[in-house]
A and B are shown apart, each in its own frame.
Chain A
Amino acid sequence: MGITTIAFILLSLMAIGSAIMMISSKSPVHSVLWLIVVFFAISGHYILLNAQFLAIVNIIVYAGAIMVLFLFVVMLMNLNAETEPIKNYRLRLIGILSGGSLLLVLIAAMMKIDVAQPVLMSTGDSGLIKVLGHALFTNYVLPFEISSVLFLSAMIGAVIIGKKE
């Protein structure tokens, strides 16, 4: 077991553990903080895959900007035990059952895949901004440009919904 495998296992445990903590913690602020840990763990995975740029962007955008926004919303809404909706135990049971069966099937199927090398450390300069930019503006220029329509419509939507009638 090489150092990469150990790093991969540690990062995965960290990601899954904090994800579970995020959905199970009572306070929304704690949830948000756990989510930041998840993003850091995922950034670690990106570095293992030799995608340094993606790792940095993931931390700046998700762990930085979006999480701050999340925290603000959570704090402004002042969520506490009284405002929590009444829990429906039957619904919860159904949720656990269906989620659990999906997990079971996923695990059972994944066991069938035999992988020669579970963790492969990529090398070379494939994760550099230069290479990424080149791919984005040559092979993937169409999806890149077309996404502007998506963002434009989302922006119009924000204006329509936010503006006073």
Chain B
Amino acid sequence: MNAIILTAIWGVIMMFCGVFVKSKKAPKFIAITGLLLVFAANAVELATKKSFFNIQVHDMLQMDSFNLAFLAVIFGCTLVFFLLSGADVENVGSHVAEYFALIFFVLCGVSLAATFNTLLILFIGIEIISIPLYILTGSDKRNLKSNEAALKYFLMGAFSTGIMLMGIAFLFGGNPTASFYLQHLQIGVGPMPVLIAFGLVFMLVALSFKVSAAPFHFWTPDVYDGAPTVFTSFMSTIVKAAGFFAFLRLFQNAFGNMHDQWQHLIIFITIATLLIGNVTAVFQQSVKRMLAYSSIAQAGFMLLAVFALNDRAKEGILLYAAAYSLATIGFFAILIKMEDYTIDGFNGLARQQPLLAFTATVFLLSLTGVPLTAGFQSKFFMLMAAVENGNNFWVVIVAVLFAAVSAYYYFRVIQAMYFKEPGNLPLTRETELTGSFKAMLLITAILIIFIGIYPEILVGWMYH
């Protein structure tokens, strides 16, 4: 509850900043202060199980340790994002305070999507996440690609929202109590009623779209490529993790006891996502586009949690959200500072900027899933969850094979940085590489290795 209310309030405060604070640097610091506050309030709620606000919610929200721990991960990653890339938000356009306000509203939506207990709140949460994102995608107004991406995202997003609403209508009409509450959708033994099955498929399609799982991923490369890079970093990590969390919670709490009836649909989507994401990423020359496809590929791994649907999967999604978000945010922060976004643009970066090259290597290794990094632990937990699931073991083998494929395109960047000769021109915009930026990069890399060695600290929050 703390998180929902404070993020909404801080969004409004950021709006007023746009009016009263003229300095372009100030919004970033106000945003960081607000986020620290939100993080602390959420941590207090996680520790004491008591909210500052006593609001009658009629059981529409569920505040348990798992949800609050996930929110803590989300706010932590956003904090890293603000510290690393906050200065780049200032370069996007002239409405800096409003961009931060929109990010806070997205966080409010994430808090709703992480704690919903009725379909109503899920819908509102997903919409509060989506609408600010359409705007952030199109915030680089003079760039045609950004405009195109925003329009494409908006039209397709609106369509998928329509599908989700229709699914909710089916589910509402299909359960005997005619209620939006998730626990009322749980049907006992026997085959699924027709209306519930329809609702399930429509929800599956809409949520797969929101998390860019194949075959509903077609918007992803264009939107991630067209959007200003700093916002791509935000929406391909934090927002996507939140989408998966909502996905997992909906299918666990509403359709959990019909698991074996819809498991095959999830297997199809998982395999298709892994295949399309990984194979297409191999052929990309632009690193930004490669990351867009790699985010589809990582989505395939996160889908394993929905496939497995057990306690290990819950631990896995928590770890995956942290590992994937931290590594991708870190790598995007470096990418923004590059002059050239192609893989050749990274040639010989290790000679010019050894620290940047080193941290980029850590991030990429974590994305690949090399031991000692957080990425390894998260992939390990996901695969273990899928194994503990007990059936369809072949899915695990396929996932491991595709993880090996992903090594190819991540290592290409590492190879370019360390083994290729640099040109005469500087590769990065060196004036922007301040000491604090480099220190923050190093801290992020250390954090990733730390989670890789002690994942139980993060997972332990869940059982607090």
Residues on A lying within 8 angstroms of B by beta carbon are 106, 109-110, 112-113, 139-143, 146-147, 149-150, 152-154, 156-157, 159-161, 163, 165
The answer to the question of B15 belonging to the interface, with a C-beta cut-off of 8 Å to chain A, is yes
Closest approach, in angstroms, between the C-beta of A135 and any C-beta of chain B? Answer: 11
- CB < 8 Å neighbour of A149 from B128, B134, B139: B128
Interface SS, A side:
helix
Q: Would you give the 0/1 interface string for B112-133, flagging 1 where the beta carbon is closer than 8 Å to chain A? A: 1000001011001001100110
Q: How far is the CA of A139 from the CA of B56 in the complex (A)?
A: 9
Known: A142-B61, A156-B101. A113 touches B195 (CB 8 A): yes
Inter-chain contacts of A165 with B (CB < 8 A): 93-94, 141-142
Q: Is the interface of B mostly helix, strand, loop or mixed?
A: helix
* B interface residues (Cβ-Cβ under 8 A, vs A): 4, 8, 11-12, 15, 55-58, 60-61, 93-95, 98, 101-102, 105, 108-109, 112, 118, 120-121, 124, 127-128, 131-132, 134-135, 138-139, 141-142, 194-195, 197-198
Q: Which residue of A lies closest to B121 (CB)?
A: A143
Q: 14 other contacts beyond A152-B12, A153-B132, with CB at 8 A cut-off?
A: A109-B194, A109-B198, A142-B58, A142-B61, A143-B121, A146-B4, A146-B124, A147-B124, A153-B11, A153-B128, A156-B98, A156-B135, A157-B132, A165-B94
Q: How far is the CB of B215 from chain A (nearest CB, A)?
A: 11
In the complex, which of the residues B57, B94, B105, B194 contacts A113, with contact meaning CB atoms closer than 8 Å? B194
- The answer on a CB contact under 8 Å between A150 and B124 is yes
Q: List 25 A-B contacts (CB under 8 A).
A: A109-B198, A110-B194, A113-B194, A140-B58, A141-B58, A142-B58, A143-B120, A146-B112, A146-B121, A146-B128, A149-B128, A150-B127, A152-B11, A152-B105, A153-B11, A153-B101, A153-B132, A156-B132, A156-B135, A157-B131, A159-B98, A160-B95, A161-B138, A165-B93, A165-B94
Minimum CB–CB distance for B58 against chain A, Å: 6
> What are the residues of chain B within 8 A of A147 when measuring CB–CB?
124
In Å, the complex CA distance between A106 and B58 comes to: 34
Cβ of A140: which chain B residues have Cβ within 8 Å of it? Answer: 58, 120
CB of A142 within 8 A of CB of B195, answer: no
A146, B135: Cα distance in complex, Å: 20
